[in-house]
Chain A
Amino acid sequence: MAEPRIIIVGAGPAGIRAAGMLVAAGLRPVLLDEGQRDGGQIYRRQPEGFTRTPEQLYGTEAARAVALHQSFERLKPQIDYRPRHLAWNVADGVVHTISEGKPGQFAYDVLIIAAGATDRLLPVKGWQHAGVYSLGGAQIALKAQACAIGRKVVFLGTGPLLQLVALQYHKAGAQVVALLDTSPFLKQVLALPKLAARPAMLVKGLRLVGGLMASGMAIHRGVTPVEIHGEAEAGVTGVSVRLASGEIRRFDCDAVGLGYHLRPEAQLADLARCAFTFDAKTRQFWPEIDADGRSSVAGVYLAGDGVRTQGADGAEISGALAACAVLADLGRPVPEAERAALREQGRIMERFREGIAEAYPWPAHLAADLPDDAILCRCEGITVGELREAATEKGADEVNRAKALTRVGMGRCQGRYCGHAGAEIVAAATGVPLEAVGRLRGQAPVKPLPVAAGEVQP
């Protein structure tokens, strides 16, 4: 029998660990990655010629980052590594890529998708002004290019990344005007039993909070965002929030980092026709998987933050587990003891993920309460009021219908950044449960496809 054609999409922690496990079993996967270099987002490697130390780049996670990068260097000769390859579509057992303007096709028997996550965003009035970035974007600017998003920065939202990026900016010398967290402190206390599933990580988290306290930046928890102020030319000029005390306070700044934890980049799984399921706790749809990462489609496996937001350590474990599932399904020997240990660790990661989700909940009510004149879909310039009107006056009580009538989610980002809030708005306006309001169906291309690609025959 010919060697199975195995493709892994994504060279972050999940993809690299999956590749390692497969190489150890004597297989040679193709690893497609959009990035210039391996490492994914969390362990993103700086461009050639930059000289920051791992400690400066990755803080407490420096050792893990270096370990992963070193594993990858050892793996590289044993895999078919294709950096700068964006997987823009998948159909009929073929991954379609675009690389430096040239289209490519990679047929597979086995596909492991480890496409990572992007910020889960929630609009706030004025978020279309220049100078509003996602937290992930703000972190990448710093990590990749040693740039800050502004001179005076406010971080707004919730989730572990909010705390981490604020501290990283402070340490890098940027002026962090305020850290504004929508989650009440009590939620974080109540989540402690689940967070204690990973004592070392909990300690790191507490140290992070300690570092923030010591930084002297203004920190407010349990806030309600009111508006990002700005002008067409100058961009962001400030942020107003209602503090837990009820007082409305304005913070002057020239940039805002915004984010509400992460959401899986599940478009490829969607195009591969994987089934999705609704998660009531985080109020989102994500692909169905079994404990080892098998999707509903035979031959398609899902790992890392692209399917469940467990973070980097969880991604490494889920990547290795997905590779074990591949080996088992191919009828190859599986490292049983290792798999048993991985599954046990995976359960801990999942418990910790639930703890994080409870400590920093998705504030659905903030979406439902957005004013009519707030821009919802930034790509298409559609307001909250236009979506509400389609939902209530035109019977659009399902998100794809609402998209067809209003264009919400039709632009460049394909609803990545407004889709979750849009669903909440439709649900609240119509009284239809979020689960029935549904999810925006994925449509190719996963990211914009250059027309010029048609001039090059694959």
Chain B
Amino acid sequence: MTEPQRSDVLIIGGGIMGASAAFFLRQRGKSVTLIERGLIGQQASGTNFGNVRRQGRYLPQLPLANRSRAIWGRLNDLLGEDAEFLPSGHLRLAYTEEMAERIEQYGRDARPYGLELEMLSGNILRDRFPFLGPEIRAGSYSPLDGHANPRLAAPAFGRAAKRAGAAIVERAEVLSVEQEGGSFRAQTADGRIFRAEQMLITAGAWGSRLSQQFGEPAPLVVHGPQMAVTEPVPYALEPVLGIATTIPEEIIYLRQVKRGNIVFGGGIRGPASAETLRAYVKPENTLGQLSQITRIVPALRRLNVIRVWSGIESYLPDDIPIMGPSARVSGLHYAFGFCGHGFQLGPGVGDVMAELIATGQTSTPIEPFTIARFAGGATNQTGGHP
């Protein structure tokens, strides 16, 4: 058990970022060991809403999101497993004229990035999506966005990486990481030591605990998404629906899965703890969400909620992730802190990080996400979504 394991790349953290990076690194011929404290895809990657949404993102993130979307489209062939990706379309909705203008402007701004959005309002919107409530004024439709099953996606990447030859070490908590004689060394709580030429830290809410051991702490805070699901009813709501608003209580998003249940989330974030590994849904948040989902689709008032859940997500002050090479240590890379919008990006992040680690560069711009932006303790507000 104490035998040091050696590989080209050591990945710490088995969420969708780490698992997909392991898979794509194997495709590039690198030997990979992935170490995960619990099980693959158990935290933020497995408990999020499941949005495969590009519209509404921070614009400079769209090239990465586009690259990821292309992978989602061929995920089943790539992994040999179904993560229930459904390119159902995504509809971003506005209650007010001001927000309608804002999403219309976003549509114009997104076009140069290759994201074509269709602005709909009034009777055209209602004819096409007759289930929408009377308060909805306008919507921006993204035909190629959609949703997938978060409980399945990261584990599917993990298994595919394993089949491709990656070493997937679950139930092993990495306590210390360091650079030693030009290579990297990680030690687990049970005393195992792993070594590699390069290291990738994809440890989500626990990322800063590791990055700070290399002198690069990140100002992560943790929150729990407030998720819920109804009983199943016949499939009728095709696009993912989300509200564009500046009022936190109004934030709501919902999707219907093919088997019929309606999954929703949003509103005020809940308490989570990176120490106890627990996150909770506040009952008042659930009730608040119920009053919001019926504003979007009034017919939902006849359904029942059968389950709520949360998970541990990490956020950064500027609401965009840390992704890219370390600013201090050569051979060290980061991809964590995805601020509640990482699921869609997951496959693309894995692909880009694999490219970066294997070739030293990437064709997808990721400069805004450098960890160096926190070097002086400064926190510039970029602002991103919804």
Contact = CB atoms under 8 A, between A and B. Distances in A.
Contact of A411 (B282, B306, B308): B306
Nearest to B38: A401
B152 interface: yes
Interface of B: 39, 42, 46, 151-152, 155, 159, 170, 230-231, 280-283, 286-294, 300-309
Interface in A392-409: 394-395, 398, 401, 404-405
Contacts, number: 83
B170 A395 contact: yes
A193 interface: no
Contact of A412 (B280, B289, B306, B309): B306
A451 B155 contact: no
Given A401-B39, A451-B294, A414 B307 contact: yes
Given A401-B39, A410-B307, A414-B307, A448 B286 contact: no
A455 interface: yes
Interface of A: 88-89, 91-92, 94, 96, 103, 394-395, 398, 401, 404-405, 410-412, 414, 443-445, 448-455, 458
B283 A444 contact: yes
B233 to A, nearest CB: 11
Contacts of A414: 306-307
Q: Is the interface of B mostly helix, strand, loop or mixed?
A: helix
9 contacts: A91-B283, A96-B283, A394-B159, A401-B39, A445-B286, A451-B294, A451-B301, A451-B304, A453-B290
Contacts of B287: 103, 453-454, 458
B170 A451 contact: no
B308 A448 contact: no
Q: Is the interface of A mostly helix, strand, loop or mixed?
A: mixed
A455 B291 contact: yes
B84 to A, nearest CB: 11
A34 B202 CA distance: 46
B257 to A, nearest CB: 11
A454 B289 contact: yes
Contacts of A401: 39, 42
Contacts of A89: 283, 286
Contacts of B231: 411-412, 448
Given A89-B286, A454-B291, A455-B290, 13 more contacts: A88-B283, A91-B282, A395-B39, A395-B170, A398-B39, A444-B286, A445-B306, A445-B308, A448-B305, A450-B303, A452-B301, A453-B290, A458-B287
A405 B155 contact: yes
Contacts of B300: 451
Contacts of A449: 286, 290, 304-305
Contacts of B283: 88-89, 91, 94, 96, 444
B151 to A, nearest CB: 4
B290 A454 contact: yes
Contacts of B302: 451-452
B155 A455 contact: no
